[in-house]
Amino acid sequence: MQITRQADYALRTVLYLAGLEDGGRAPTGRIAREQRVPPSFLAKIVSQLAIAGLVQTARGARGGVSLARPAGEISVLEVIQAVDGPIRLFECLDDPAGCVFGEACPMRETLCNVQERLIRDLSTADFRQLAARQRELAR
C-alpha cells in the first residue's frame, strides 16, 4: 500500500495548520507555497477536508483556511479517509465472496489483523502530537 499524493498533500496541509498559533488561519497561497503543493490541487484538497469537517475556510482579505477542531481531535486516519476514502489493504477483506477461497482463505485472518492495526495506529495519531514532534525536530 502506498499513500496517494492527494493524501500526502492533505496530511501536510493539516499539519501546517496544526502548527499555527491557536486557531490560526493561513491563505491557501501561502500553504501551497510553503508545503510545495500545486495551488489548484490544494484547492480541491481543502474542499474535501472542509466537507469532512476537518478545516474551515473564510473568504476575503482576512480569509484563509483553519482547523475546524482542535488539532488533538483530528487523526491521521480522518485526513486520509477524507481524501482517499476508507483504507482497504485488500478488497476481499470487506467481501470474502470476492476471494476465490472465501472464508477458507489462509491469509484472511492475518491480513485482517494487519489492516485493523494500521487503522488503529492511524486513528490514534493526532495532529497535536505531530505538530509537537515537528517543533522538536525543528530545534
- Looking at residue 37, which CATH number applies to its domain? 1.10.10.10
Cell numbers standing for residue 53: 469537517
**Contacts by residues 114-120 (CB-CB < 8 Å, ≥ 24 positions apart):** 114/89, 115/87, 115/88, 115/89, 115/90, 118/87, 118/89, 119/77, 119/87
Cell numbers standing for residue 137: 525536530
Q: What is the pLDDT of residue 1?
A: 62
Domain count, the chain: 1
C-alpha 45/C-alpha 65 separation (Å) is 11
pLDDT over threshold 80, residue 76:
yes
pLDDT tens by residue, 106-117 = 888 898 899 999
| Predicted structure pTM score | 0.89
pLDDT tens by residue, 27-48 = 999 999 999 999 999 999 999 9
Q: What is the pLDDT of residue 61?
A: 78
Range of the domain at 81: 5-138
Q: What is the pLDDT of residue 112?
A: 86
